[in-house]
Chain A
Amino acid sequence: MSDLTQLTISQARAKLRAKEISATELTESYLSAIDRANGTLNAYVAVTGDKAREMAKASDARLLKGEGGALEGIPLGIKDLFGTEGVHTQACSHVLDGFKPRYESTVTSNLWADGAVMLGKLNMDEFAMGSSNETSYYGPVINPWRRSRLDTVVMPTTHQGDGGFVSAGGTKTQRSLDNAQLVPGGSSGGSATAVSAFLCAGATATDTGGSIRQPAAFTGTVGIKPTYGRCSRWGIVAFASSLDQAGPIARDVRDAAILLKSMASVDPKDTTSVDRPVPDYEAAIGKPIKGMKVGIPKEYRVEGMPEEIEALWQKGIAWLRDAGAEIVDISLPHTKYALPAYYIVAPAEASSNLARYDGVRYGLRVPGKDIVEMYEKTRAAGFGREVKRRIMIGTYVLSAGYYDAYYLQAQKVRNLIKRDFENVFAAGVDVILTPATPSAAFGIADEDMAADPVKMYLNDIFTVTVNMAGLPGIAVPAGLDPKGLPLGLQLIGRPFEEETLFQTAAVIEQAAGRFQPEKWW
């Protein structure tokens, strides 16, 4: 194969071990792909070429000795939210200008220990707050997918054909790409674009309300948010600590399983890291799903949902039924309250977590006449609009006199949401199938979304329940909409049953096939 970036992680792993290719060659292929594409797609905010070459060289030495780790020589992109020692780490915010941590996050440490190579840091919504990657201080990321339309072309009666002049005439249809730029989703938009456009073999991402699964669905990639507590949060810039989880975005289900196996661990440095061994997720792929009980929640059939989303869902149901699963209708009655409860809990936790950006210990400082004015000016200049909005909401709902009405009420509702899932799982449901997003990717600077923050928030309507209940969820590509854009389905599992998700997602992938954008960049 001439273009090494086309290899999946499992394919590259086999070729590296067989010494058909070297880690250095593979890394150079990615670095030149990034060099050509990043000016257009804006997926990377920092490219660590020298470091990547050094790491690849070390991988080649280990591979030569037959000592390669699980990800030896595999080039990855890292979301800017992960602390990487001596390397740009700013959560794509102006307030963290120049921040280069003196430590490495547990998740990235695990990846390097397994031999992975770091290509650079990936763009994202500022502090992971957004669903379109437009709130980044470094500008929006562009989705490699574009809408296309089928045109009927009338052929002249005499025209030049492949074998000389022919005179058949008639019509033919051809798909042509639209020029409008689309968002890759968010907040892990850089991760999703980089994976989809072959600018890394796989990427780390994080998910607080849908930030792995929604961008994966918008770019035809696979993204899994594991159970809360599966990946250590140590060294990851905090947004909403009771909801944040790290996970991978990958080209296929097997690659996602390979990456999660390396990212997940039991970490004494994170008190919410759960003390359970990490299973071999890859082994779950290919296991039959015969007899598995798949729940279809009626509350996910929301008003105004486009026809193609409903059609996609029905296709997913048919695929799983054909594979021998038992389909059951279920009810998760508090679903509609998950998003409003999230928009109290997440901003409340964010307002507290982001209090540390005060111009004293790291990042930006704007001078003031006294310390309070210094804080206020620094934070006014350093945070973008969406981040300020959420800090303001969080501060308000936690302020004296409002705590019970908002925060306490939301945390009670959160328990009810969790109980809905527990009841369904107790009744024997193994996995829940839903659409991943209420629409396909939308345009950059969408006017409706810019005018009303709540419209943007609705992107997470199918994913946010999973974070509220701490459950694992995977988004897997399942088809294209009539305009040729990818759409994803979501599977939700019992706590720590990520294996069931990989097993079931592989069945969907097998039936739906894989999708990649037509290259225009």
Chain B
Amino acid sequence: MSVDVKTVKRVAHLARIAVSEEDAERMTGELNAILGFVEQLNEVDVSGVEPMTSVTPMEMKKRADAVTDGNKAADIVANAPATDENFFLVPKVVE
């Protein structure tokens, strides 16, 4: 499988990365090189093989449903580019 410039632009939008016409053209070539490389996986007979879901066989750890942390709103917003009274500020979302 290979991608064209139109697909690259669509994927870039899905990934929320602005691309110029020039970027999109360059990326098309690069992505096709990588997709060409991974194509060889189709040779592998995977009938009856389950996809890996966990690299080490383990029970998912569970913890007690208790409040153990919190009350640190100021810490959480400390690195944000724009905040107001411990809220993150973003451009207007709803008209």
Which single member of A99, A358, A389 contacts B16 (CB below 8 Å)? A358
Known: A229-B56, A359-B81, A361-B88. A344 touches B17 (CB 8 A): no
Could you tell me the dominant secondary structure of chain B's interface residues? Answer: loop
A308 to chain B, nearest CB (A): 26
Query: Is the beta-carbon distance between A365 and B52 smaller than 8 angstroms?
Result: no
What residues on A are CB-neighbors of B76 within 8 Å? 102, 361
Contacts A383-B17, A389-B31 given; does A274 touch B91 at CB 8 Å? no
CA A416 to CA B31, docked complex, whole Å: 26
- Taking a contact as CB atoms closer than 8 A, the residue among A340, A416, A470 that contacts B55 in the complex is A470
Q: Is A111 an interface residue (CB 8 A)?
A: no
What are the residues of chain B within 8 A of A372 when measuring CB–CB?
16
Within 8 A of B (CB), among A306-345: 334, 336-337, 340-341, 343-344
State whether A418 touches B51 (Cβ < 8 A): no
Q: Which residue of B lies closest to A89 (CB)?
A: B79
A406 to B34, CA, bound (A): 12
Query: Size range of the interface on A?
Result: 35 or more
Asked if A102 contacts B75 (CB within 8 A), the reply is: yes
The complex places the Cα of A271 from the Cα of B13 at a distance, in Å, of 32
Q: A99-B79, A365-B82, A377-B18 are in contact. Are A453 and B30 (CB under 8 A)?
A: yes
Q: Which of these, B8, B50, B88, contacts A412 with CB under 8 Å? A: B50
> Which residues of chain A come closer than 8 Å to B18, judged between CB atoms?
373, 376-377, 379-380
A346 to chain B minimum Cβ distance, whole angstroms, is 11
Q: Given B1, B12, B79, B91, which contacts A405 in the complex, CB threshold below 8 Å?
A: B1
Contact count A vs B, C-beta below 8 Å: 166
Q: What chain B residues lie within 8 Å of A358 (beta carbons)?
A: 16
Judge whether A227 is part of the interface by a CB distance below 8 angstroms.
yes
Residues of B with C-beta under 8 A to A368: 91
* Inter-subunit contact A341/B11 (CB<8 Å): no
Say whether A181 faces chain B, with CB atoms less than 8 Å apart.
no
Q: How far is the CA of A337 from the CA of B45 in the complex (A)?
A: 12
Are A343 and B81 also in contact (CB < 8 A) when A360-B90, A391-B15, A453-B30 are?
Answer: no
A residues engaging B (CB < 8 A)? 98-102, 227-229, 242-243, 268, 271-275, 334, 336-337, 340-341, 343-344, 351, 355, 358-365, 367-377, 379-380, 383, 388-389, 391-393, 395-396, 399, 402, 405-406, 408-416, 418, 452-454, 457, 469-470, 495
Instruction: Supply 22 A–B pairs (Cβ within 8 Å), ascending by A.
Output: A98-B79, A102-B72, A227-B56, A274-B56, A274-B58, A340-B39, A361-B88, A362-B80, A371-B90, A373-B18, A379-B15, A383-B17, A389-B27, A391-B15, A392-B17, A395-B14, A409-B42, A411-B53, A414-B52, A415-B49, A418-B55, A454-B34
